[in-house]
Amino acid sequence: MIKMIHSYWAYIVLIVLIFAVINAFLGLKANKKFEAKDLRISLFALIATHIQLLVGLVTYYVSPFYESMRNVGMGEVMKNSDLRKILIEHPFVGIIAIALITIGFSKHKKKTTDSAKFKTIAIFYTIALILILSRIPWDLWFAN
């Protein structure tokens, strides 16, 4: 059940994060004023990713993959690319991506110009989005 929540919430995270990135680039390109709506979009992306992290941590520890890591040991996990991706790369890169989103959101609040706010969100959220997309276990995701 928790794995299903983690998988379906990921759709929401991707949609909201893509929307936040597009909004930031459009705001930057059009030289728009950074308004409350822009803040809410980037904040919702921040909240959605943090919820995904919490659900993901629970999923990680109740996963049969985690149990197999405990049985075979970390050395065997690192030798097996499928296990390594699920147990090491996916969570580690996800945590880095969420940290970048958090940093980007915090930094944008300190900026004084609207373009600097959009630029900060655009940079940090785009890097995070690329990282997230790179570590989604697509084969497992579409198998459900």
> DSSP 3-state assignment of 34?
coil
Q: Read off the pLDDT of each residue in 24-40 and give the average, rounded to a whole number.
A: 96
For the chain, give the mean pLDDT.
Answer: 91
Q: Read off the pLDDT of each residue in 11-20 and give the average, rounded to a whole number.
A: 96
Looking at the predicted structure, is the pLDDT value of residue 144 above 60?
A: no
CA atoms within 13 A on the CB side of 62: 11
Q: Indicate the pTM of the whole model.
A: 0.90
Confidence of residue 68 (pLDDT cuts 50, 70, 90): confident
Q: Read off the pLDDT of each residue in 20-37 and give the average, rounded to a whole number.
A: 96
More confident residue, 137 or 50: 50
> DSSP 3-state assignment of 25?
helix
Q: Tell me the C-alpha distance between 47 and 103, whole Å.
A: 13
Structure token digits, residue 73 = 């040991």
Q: 128: buried, middle or exposed (CB in 10 Å: 19+, 13-18, 0-12)?
A: buried
Confidence of residue 63 (pLDDT cuts 50, 70, 90): confident
Looking at the predicted structure, is the pLDDT value of residue 91 above 70?
A: yes
